[in-house]
Structure 1
Amino acid sequence: MITEINVTPLVDIMLVLLIIFMVTASYIVRDSIDVKLPEAATGEKQKVSILAVTIDADGKLRLNGKAADENAIRRFIREESKRSKKKMEAVIAADKRVSHGQVVRVIDLVRAEGIYKFAINVLKPDK
Structure 2
Amino acid sequence: MAGGTQPRGGIIEGINVTPLVDIMLVLLVIFMVTTKLVDSPALPLDLPQASQSEQVQTVLAISITANGQLWVDGQVTPEEALKQKTQEALARDPELRAVIQADGSVPHRLVISVLDRLKESGLTRVAFGTVQPPAASEGDERAKP
Tell me what 1:79 maps to.
88
* CA RMSD, Structure 1 to Structure 2 (Å): 2.2
Return 5+ residue gaps in structure 2 as ranges: 1-46, 48-54, 136-145
SS at match of 1:62: strand
How far the C-alpha of 1:108 sits from its partner, in A, is 1.0
Please give the alpha-carbon distance, in whole angstroms, between the structure 2 residues aligned to 1:85 and 1:110. Answer: 15
Q: How many residues align?
A: 83
SS at match of 2:58: strand
Tell me what 2:12 maps to.
none
8 Å contact kept, 1:91–1:120: yes
Tell me what 1:98 maps to.
106
Please give the alpha-carbon distance, in whole angstroms, between the structure 1 residues aligned to 2:103 and 2:73. Answer: 16
Matched AA of 2:79: E
Identity %: 29
Higher-helix-fraction structure: 1
Structure 1 consecutive aligned stretches of length 4 or more whose deviation exceeds 4 Å: none
Q: TM-score under structure 1 normalisation?
A: 0.58
Please give the alpha-carbon distance, in whole angstroms, between the structure 1 residues aligned to 2:65 and 2:133. Answer: 20
1:70 aligned to 2:116? no
8 Å contact kept, 2:84–2:121: no
Larger RCO (CA under 8 A, 6+ residues apart): 1
Return 5+ residue gaps in structure 1 as ranges: 1-40
